[in-house]
Structure 1
C-alpha cells in the first residue's frame, strides 16, 4: 500500500493508519520534495514531476507492483495519474476526499503550482519556528504538530 498525502502534508499524516495495517501489508509513505523532512525540489512542482517522483520512490524501493494507491486530497490526482501511466504496477485506488481532476488541469495548473510553493514554504516555516519559539509540547514531532495545525490534512 502506497500512501500519498494531501498538498503540503507530510507522510506522518499516515502514521496511525500505517501502524494498523503494517502487520498485514507492506505500507509506504514518503515526504514529497519540499514537504516534511525532504529537501526542496530542483524544479517546479507540477503534477507530472510529482508523479515522476512517486515512480522514482517506488523504483528505488524495488516496488514493481502491483500496489494499492491511497491518495488524500491533492494526493488523489497524483495516484490517479500514476495509475493511468502504470496500469501494470497498480492494483487499485483508494481516494479520500480527493481533489477533482478539473482543479489540476488547464488554467488552474498555474494556481496549483503556486499553492504548492506557498504550502511548502509554510510547512517548513512551521517546522523550524515552532521549535525556536517553544510552541511544541515536549517530545512532539514537528511533522505531527504541523498535521494537527492543519486539522489533520
Structure 2
C-alpha cells in the first residue's frame, strides 16, 4: 500500500470518529446487572437486546477511578490490548467493542449520540459500579468520551483524548478539500462525508457541534506529531492544520486541560508511543483521585 493511499484510509477511519454509537431506539441496560464489577477477562453484557463485548484487567485500587478505554473507528478492543495490559499493573482498566465493532452485536439501526451514551453507561455500570471513571479515547473513542462527559460529570472524573476526531470534522473536511477537488482527494472527501452521514460499518452519524464543558476535571489532549495527512495530494497540509485546530478546540471541555504533541506518532499514538499514552492516563487517574 502506498503512503498516499494509507494516509487516505487512516483519515477515513479518523474522521469516522465524528459519529457516535448507539441506536435510534436507544437500548436500556438490564434492570438487574450482575452484582460484582471485578471480573477479569472478557464478558458479554446485555444492553437492551444487544450483546456488548467487554474486557477488564487489573485490580481495583482504593480511591482510584476505573479506567475505561474507547477504541477508534474501524477498530475494536483488541487494538487496545497492549495499552490495557500496561495500565493494569497499577489500576483496574476496561475496554469494550461498540455495537458494530469487534465481538459485539451489530446495531439494529442508525446510531446517535444519545444511544451510544446509553451503551457506554451500561458498560461503566458493569465494570465500575458506583465508582468514578477516567475515559481514555482514541479518534472516534475520544469524540465519544468528550461528548459523553459533560452530561455525566457525576461519574467521569478525567479524560485523555488521543488524536480525538475534531468536534467540527465535517466543516473541517469541506474546507480542507473543496468541491472542485479531483482524484484521490475527491475520493477521500466523498468517502469520509458518507461515513459522517452514517453509512459506515457502525452506522454512525453525527453533526458538528460546539464543545461543551465538563467542568474542571483533568483533561489531557494528545495530538499526533508526524504529519501523515500531508500525503494527501495537494490538500494534505490544509488537512493537517485543520486537524491541529480541532485538537485545540477540545481544550474548552475543561478549565483544567492541556495539549501535548506526540512527536514520534502518526494517528495511533498509543501504538507509536505507548509509554506516552500510559503516562498521560496515569497522570489523569492520579489527578482525579481524591486526596485522603
Please, which of 123, 126, 132 is the counterpart of residue 66 of structure 1?
A: 132
Please tell me whether the aligned partners of residues 99 and 202 of structure 2 are also in contact (alpha carbons under 8 angstroms).
Answer: no
- CA distance in 1 between counterparts of 2:114 and 2:195 reads 13
Shift of residue 82, structure 1, vs aligned partner: 1.6
Give 1 or 2: higher strand fraction.
2
Correspondence for 2:73: 7
Alignment of 1:1-153 (within 5 A): 1-103=67-169, 111-117=196-202
Q: Which runs of 4+ in 1 moved over 2 A?
A: 60-65, 108-112, 115-119
State the aligned residue count: 120
- CA distance in 2 between counterparts of 1:64 and 1:93 reads 18
- CA distance in 1 between counterparts of 2:168 and 2:101 reads 24
Shift of residue 65, structure 1, vs aligned partner: 3.4
Greater gyration radius: 2
Please tell me whether the aligned partners of residues 69 and 135 of structure 2 are also in contact (alpha carbons under 8 angstroms).
Answer: yes
In structure 2, stretches of 5+ residues that fail to align are 1-66, 172-192, 205-267, 272-292
3-state SS in 2 of match to 1:57: helix
Give 1 or 2: higher helix fraction.
1
Please tell me whether the aligned partners of residues 106 and 202 of structure 2 are also in contact (alpha carbons under 8 angstroms).
Answer: no
In structure 1, stretches of 5+ residues that fail to align are 120-150
Shift of residue 55, structure 1, vs aligned partner: 0.7
Shift of residue 48, structure 1, vs aligned partner: 2.3
**Pairwise CA RMSD:** 2.7
Compared CA separation, residues 25 and 96, structure 1 to 2 (3 A): same
TM-score (norm. length: structure 2): 0.37
Compared CA separation, residues 36 and 110, structure 1 to 2 (3 A): closer
User: What are the superposed Cα offsets for residues 111-149 of structure 1, whole Å, 9 maximum, x if unpaired?
Assistant: 342234479xxxxxxxxxxxxxxxxxxxxxxxxxxxxxx
Compared CA separation, residues 38 and 11, structure 1 to 2 (3 A): same
3-state SS in 1 of match to 2:154: helix
